[in-house]
Structure 1
Amino acid sequence: MKLNQKTLVVYLLSLLSVFSCSKQKEEVKADTVIKGGTIYTMNTDQPKVEAVAVQNGKIIFAGLAKEAEAYIGDSTQVLDLKGQTMTPGFIEGHGHFMGLGYNELNLNLLDVKSYDELVERVKEAVAKAQPGQWITGRGWHQSKWTPSPEPSVKGFQTHQKLSEISPDNPVFLRHASGHAGFANAKAMEIAGVLQMSNESMEAGEVEGGEIIRDELGNPTGIFNETAMGLIAQHIPETTPEKDRQALELAVKACHAHGITSFHDAGVGREHIALFKEAKENGTLGVRLYVMLTGWDRELLEEWYKKGPEVDTTDHLLTIRSVKLNCDGALGSRGAWLLEEYTDRPGHFGHETLPMEFVYTTSQKALKSGFQVCSHAIGDRANKEILDRYEKAFKENPEAADNHRFRIEHAQHLHPEDIPRFAELGVIPAMQAIHMSSDRPWAIDRLGEKRIQEGAYVWQELLKSGARIVNGTDVPVEPVNPIACFYASVSRKTLDGSPEGGYEPEQKMTREQALRSYTLDAAYGAFEEDVKGSIEPGKLADFTVFSQDIMTVPEEELLKTTVEMTIVGGDVVYRKVDL
């Protein structure tokens, strides 16, 4: 067949193009190739691979080790896992980023085992403080103390011991849950709540909260839910320098625990500005998905007008959610329940935010492109929020398509509400470690029937079609994902009890638990197309563990350590040289 000149030119150019593309493909070299261990991808089409190649912060290859050799050039860094296990980078699905940092700067009371130990810890801080300086901290939990505090009022300790060792320094210590605070006499004196009129000593004196009082009407030092503001408003504001220090500590803590991304649950304008500054300076270090705090209504209105900020370039700082705090916690008996507390008859917890505001926020968020993430622990709070969400969805059907609204914690549900999550497309963002920490005493709050039917019902939610986003709620719990993963698959406390776990039928499988910390956590932030699994085109975020968390015996899981954390292809943490 004869070819005319024009056809011949086109043919030759085509051959040249094919040859050029083939040559370019052959010459693609990776910045980093990782191999030599077990690599779980969370990609259902390719669950495990032998090697991963990274270029410019993204994955360009995941597959067989022999095929990865083609991506190794003179300047390629080759990381040998030496038999260790790599997964997609772990995503903290619900935490408080600056709270993590500030826990390092203030008194960290998570490990305090008794009231006397707390008093001793504060005494040491007072000895180092300036006269009149506030002593602040967080992490105590009266239900975990041995022995239980005496005297006690409504299950809480009283302030006398604390006031005796700190007569001149005001003290305010937040409960581990963040939903109650403990003040000494000096702090209450500054706030003007020691001497109260008879009219103000009636129950419900603080809307959405409570000042716990003794039989004579005197405050015990415990301020529940919104009542904490009576004390907190007198604590001096932090400084920009201290904020930067806390942010730096939070980044380091995340890296040391294999956390590459973080859903920050409730952020105000000051910390948003801080995050933007850190991103600009190159010091952010962790990919943040930010929820605007619902406590600042002016802030919300500002963002409704300008719309979400989705970071499609660096994937470091995205702001597209609203966080609403709708009830309290079980530990402080602030969770809003349908039936009274078993260990406090007549008390149902607190509605800390009007449900009408949940509805109007849902309406505005849908219309302006924001996701709503509502804190709800008690079954009443969960039911009421689902009702408001559903109403808003029905009234805005087009805007509600792919809304991905969330309920943060979803800890205790009425059985009738469990299937509603999947039916409405609402994501339960749950923290498995809460079951491990709370279950031994939560039965006192709810009783056996409610615990078994609707508390921490992970498997029932998953079977209904819901996607669970996992996390720790740091600083409520340590940010350690290994402990949370263990709780997810064992339903035991961290000391390994009880045998078989609490309500074992609700355990996650290991694949479900890993998914809840990676791909489904990414889905909860509209980011499953860029992170959460190891496949070409996605961000090169990885966590390397000392053991195979998918196969190691359950009793060995807690011995696992994070050996290396990789963000965007860069090793940001290394426990030992691999």
Structure 2
Amino acid sequence: MIVNKVCKYTISLVCVWLLTCTLSYASEWLIYNVQGYTLTAQNQLKTFSALHISDDKVKAIYQTSNQWLQLPSTITKVNGQGYVILPGLTDAHGHVLGLGYKQQNIDLTASRSKHAALQKIKQFAIDHPKQQWLIGRGWNQMHWQPQTYPQAHDLDLVISDRPIWLRRVDGHAAWANSKAMKIAGINANTPDPEGGQILRNEKGKPTGIFIDRAMDLVRTHIPETQANEKQQLLKKTLLQLAKLGITSVHDAGVSGETLALYQQLAQQHQLPIRVYAMLSASADDYQQWLPKGPIFSTDNMFTWRSIKLMFDGALGSRGAALYNDYADAPGQQGLLQYSLDQAIKKVQSAFQQGLQINTHAIGDRGNGTALKLYQRLAKTNIKQLKHKQPGRHRIEHAQIVDPNDMDLFNKLHLIASVQPTHATSDRDMAEQRLGPKRLDGAYAWQRLKQHGIVLTGGSDFPVEPANPFYGLHAAITRQERALKPRASWLPSQRLSREEALALFTQNAAYAAFQEKILGTLEPGKYADFIIIDRDLFSIPDNSIWQTQVMATFVAGKRVWPKQDPFQLKASTSKQSN
């Protein structure tokens, strides 16, 4: 049975290679005999059986063969063999370099115990004897028994002569060994920085766990990766995203150096997919870059017109700022990384320059404080909010929103940038952190929509897997990816398949001011689309996440699969006419 499935998938790949191997070379071509889906401006589903492409844009979509049979014979026509076509998918919140680093460093995502994590760290150290710092990510104490934070001495037992630095799965806490703390000068007298916390034992000695802005105390001592290595890592990671069906990514919080690397790649036409970058407000070169924005490449492959401000932390590390105590940690309400006045000072120049202001906010107090920030900014430029197309400022995550704050969220024309897989992976932890009585505004997608708030979707990779079909599945089902999934979590907040597709297509385009050129397969828009192996609108719910991408096209050109192993460019063109 397994062999048959493998053979069937291999044959499918061969067929797609056959039908796509010529398409990157034709200036005008048509793919017919497809099951095509796109959305209308009202998020209604529209089907088509043929897609007509001229240069890098969609020229037309056809619902019946009678509409395209009379096209000139000079136009390359390719039989789509019944495959499904969707608009290219956008991940509206990911971390490209973070994903690249995770894949080349210690990945602890699958570690289901502290012992398993330590064994993986030990093996990595053995395999990389010359690596100065041992860097990794992905541990989650909520998957361990007991569910307690690890400590520096745990790592010291594994290796003590090299510094170790391991970020938690959410990126809002890190675990260091004694060597790393010694290099950074961390001791019992080191004060907690504003917006951060050093966890300490009963004697006041640092345990090796650093929360949010306290991570900077150690992180600044880690040697920087060379710029040319970063650029190669960006290209490699973007191509991996293309393989998953992602044709555009919103890189949520980058340095000025990374912006420059993206610019160079765009100028050299080496970006495989589109990048919409947010400059991190905590970057060392933040202020120097503000006068340079916004920046657009002529082919719309790269855009920078937004900044990102971190307001609070994450639920898993109890850094998310809450109005009331954590249900499982009385006396703790999380951390705000900026006071309201500090935040306004930080983003005022970017706002006045017309840049989009995107704030990371997870807890209800974090979101409430972000709303106050936008209120204060709106008073300085009220015309912007009355404009037909307002600033489209975004709250990234919007995980726990007080229901009483949702009307203001709408009145300020804010976009909720959500990550559906967070709901399915966080469900048990979120209930522990909040308690059942405080879940009304938790991952509340339908409730936000009912308040007129536009939602866009991403994954927050590398916190979650980058596969967008995992996100679509989570949005539609609110269930984990398992053979026997538990019942939907807070099922009233599920999205329809059309609503879920909109998160990753036209809503994402709107959130990046790109709805006139991206997001749907309409005449005049870029021909960014994917070919997949199943019908997203007829398959069972539990099959959605298993969708395989057969080919990815950006601006009418195939970016994946990259190679043509069959050398059939000419013969395919002749057979397809």
TM-score (norm 2): 0.88
Asked whether the equivalents of residues 126 and 169 of structure 1 are also in contact (C-alpha less than 8 Å), the reply is no
Give the CA deviation at 1:84: 2.4
Q: Percent identity?
A: 36
Asked if 1:276 corresponds to 2:263, the answer is: yes
* Aligned counterpart, 1:148: 146
* Aligned counterpart, 2:22: none
CA distance in 2, matches of 1:356, 1:253: 40
Q: Specify whether residues 169 and 73 from structure 1 end up closer, same or farther in structure 2 by C-alpha distance, changes over 3 A only.
A: farther
Q: Superposed, which structure 2 residues align to 1:495-534 within 5 Å?
A: 495=482, 499-534=486-521
Asked whether the equivalents of residues 254 and 283 of structure 2 are also in contact (C-alpha less than 8 Å), the reply is no
* Aligned counterpart, 1:63: 62
Secondary structure in 1 aligned to 2:495?
Answer: coil
Q: Specify whether residues 71 and 267 from structure 1 end up closer, same or farther in structure 2 by C-alpha distance, changes over 3 A only.
A: farther
Q: 452, 461, 464: which is aligned to 2:448? A: 461
Instruction: State the AA in 2 paired with 1:38.
Output: Q
CA distance in 1, matches of 2:177, 2:392: 43
CA distance in 2, matches of 1:437, 1:461: 20
Structure 1, residues 61-82: CA drift from partner, whole Å, max 9, x if none? 1123332334454362x34332
CA distance in 2, matches of 1:421, 1:134: 43
Instruction: State the AA in 2 paired with 1:395.
Output: T
For structure 2, the residue ranges without an aligned partner over 5 or more in a row are: 1-25, 567-571, 573-577
Secondary structure in 1 aligned to 2:383?
Answer: coil
CA distance in 2, matches of 1:383, 1:210: 22
CA distance in 1, matches of 2:365, 2:78: 51
Instruction: State the AA in 2 paired with 1:404.
Output: R
CA distance in 2, matches of 1:71, 1:282: 32
* Aligned counterpart, 1:135: 134
Give the CA deviation at 1:422: 2.0
CA distance in 2, matches of 1:49, 1:357: 51
Q: Specify whether residues 275 and 332 from structure 1 end up closer, same or farther in structure 2 by C-alpha distance, changes over 3 A only.
A: same
* Aligned counterpart, 2:559: 572
Q: Superposed, which structure 2 residues align to 1:93-172 within 5 Å?
A: 93-130=92-129, 133-145=132-144, 147-148=145-146, 155-172=148-165
Q: Superposed, which structure 2 residues align to 1:3-18 within 5 Å?
A: none
Instruction: State the AA in 1 paired with 2:283.
Output: D
* Aligned counterpart, 1:310: 296
Asked whether the equivalents of residues 318 and 334 of structure 2 are also in contact (C-alpha less than 8 Å), the reply is yes
Structure 1, residues 510-551: CA drift from partner, whole Å, max 9, x if none? 100000100000000000000000110000000222111122
Secondary structure in 2 aligned to 1:37?
Answer: strand
Give the CA deviation at 1:97: 1.5
* Aligned counterpart, 1:186: 179
Asked if 1:434 corresponds to 2:422, the answer is: yes
Asked whether the equivalents of residues 34 and 48 of structure 2 are also in contact (C-alpha less than 8 Å), the reply is no
Give the CA deviation at 1:428: 0.4
CA distance in 1, matches of 2:70, 2:417: 41
Structure 1, residues 154-212: CA drift from partner, whole Å, max 9, x if none? x312232321111111110111111111111211121122x423xx47xxx22211111
CA distance in 2, matches of 1:116, 1:474: 25
Structure 1, residues 321-380: CA drift from partner, whole Å, max 9, x if none? 010011000011100110011111111111112322332455433321111000000000
Q: 219, 222, 228: which is aligned to 1:235? A: 222
Secondary structure in 1 aligned to 2:426?
Answer: helix
Q: Quick check: 215-224 or 434-443, which moved more? A: 215-224
* Aligned counterpart, 1:10: none
CA distance in 2, matches of 1:178, 1:71: 53
Q: 353, 359, 370: which is aligned to 2:338? A: 353
Give the CA deviation at 1:270: 1.0
CA distance in 1, matches of 2:45, 2:473: 25
* Aligned counterpart, 1:5: none
Instruction: State the AA in 1 paired with 2:401.
Output: L
CA distance in 2, matches of 1:344, 1:46: 46
Q: Quick check: 507-516 or 412-421, which moved more? A: 412-421
Q: Specify whether residues 272 and 528 from structure 1 end up closer, same or farther in structure 2 by C-alpha distance, changes over 3 A only.
A: same
* Aligned counterpart, 1:476: 463
Secondary structure in 2 aligned to 1:47?
Answer: strand
Q: Specify whether residues 370 and 227 from structure 1 end up closer, same or farther in structure 2 by C-alpha distance, changes over 3 A only.
A: same
* Aligned counterpart, 2:317: 332
CA distance in 2, matches of 1:356, 1:574: 49
* Number of aligned residue pairs: 534
Q: 476, 495, 507: which is aligned to 1:489? A: 476
Q: Quick check: 240-249 or 276-285, which moved more? A: 240-249
Asked whether the equivalents of residues 544 and 562 of structure 1 are also in contact (C-alpha less than 8 Å), the reply is yes
Structure 1, residues 206-236: CA drift from partner, whole Å, max 9, x if none? 2211111122222221111111111111111
Give the CA deviation at 1:497: 6.5
* Aligned counterpart, 2:399: 411
For structure 1, the residue ranges without an aligned partner over 5 or more in a row are: 1-28, 150-154
The structure with more radius of gyration? 1
* Aligned counterpart, 1:74: 74
Q: Specify whether residues 359 and 206 from structure 1 end up closer, same or farther in structure 2 by C-alpha distance, changes over 3 A only.
A: closer
Secondary structure in 1 aligned to 2:69?
Answer: helix
CA distance in 2, matches of 1:62, 1:557: 25
Asked whether the equivalents of residues 101 and 248 of structure 1 are also in contact (C-alpha less than 8 Å), the reply is no
Asked whether the equivalents of residues 255 and 285 of structure 2 are also in contact (C-alpha less than 8 Å), the reply is no
Q: Specify whether residues 460 and 219 from structure 1 end up closer, same or farther in structure 2 by C-alpha distance, changes over 3 A only.
A: same
Give the CA deviation at 1:298: 5.0
* Aligned counterpart, 1:21: none
CA distance in 2, matches of 1:442, 1:170: 32
CA distance in 2, matches of 1:564, 1:248: 18
Secondary structure in 2 aligned to 1:117?
Answer: helix
Structure 1, residues 77-108: CA drift from partner, whole Å, max 9, x if none? x3433222211100010011111222222222
Asked if 1:219 corresponds to 2:206, the answer is: yes
TM-score (norm 1): 0.88
Asked if 1:292 corresponds to 2:279, the answer is: yes
Instruction: State the AA in 2 paired with 1:500.
Output: A
Q: Specify whether residues 66 and 125 from structure 1 end up closer, same or farther in structure 2 by C-alpha distance, changes over 3 A only.
A: same
Asked if 1:177 corresponds to 2:164, the answer is: no
Asked if 1:550 corresponds to 2:537, the answer is: yes
Instruction: State the AA in 2 paired with 1:480.
Output: N
Give the CA deviation at 1:52: 0.9
RMSD: 2.1
Q: Superposed, which structure 2 residues align to 1:9-88 within 5 Å?
A: 31-44=28-41, 47-64=46-63, 65-71=65-71, 73-74=73-74, 76=76, 78-88=77-87
Secondary structure in 2 aligned to 1:69?
Answer: coil
* Aligned counterpart, 1:249: 236
